[in-house]
């Protein structure tokens, strides 16, 4: 009898651990595939861009400019996602 009482008290005092669902929806799969496709562009695009520029410094300037643009876009998404 005492053992059952202790088990009840322990179950009442210990919070339940949150669990995650182990499923992916169609939307999740499409989002992953789009991310993979866009993410692979970092390896194929630089040589194309470099072909249009004659010097090293404009290429670096473009990378910095686009990096800032993407950073601002990320900040916008973070703001939209915050409560």
Is the separation of the CB atoms in 50 and 40 below 8 Å?
A: no
Q: pTM score, two decimals?
A: 0.48
pLDDT recorded at residue 57: 92
Rounded to a whole number, what is the distance in angstroms from the first to the last CA of the chain?
A: 48
pLDDT recorded at residue 82: 80
The mean pLDDT values, 10 residues at a time, for the chain of 83 residues are: 57 74 83 80 82 88 88 85 78
pLDDT recorded at residue 9: 58
């Amino acid at each position: 009898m005492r053992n059952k009482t202790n088990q009840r008290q322990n179950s009442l005092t210990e919070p339940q651990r949150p669990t995650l669902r182990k499923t992916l929806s169609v939307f999740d799969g499409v989002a992953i595939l789009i991310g993979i496709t866009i993410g692979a562009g970092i390896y194929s695009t630089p040589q194309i861009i470099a072909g249009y520029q004659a010097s090293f410094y404009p290429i670096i300037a473009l990378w910095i400019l686009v990096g800032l643009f993407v950073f601002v876009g990320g900040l916008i998404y973070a703001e939209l996602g915050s409560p």
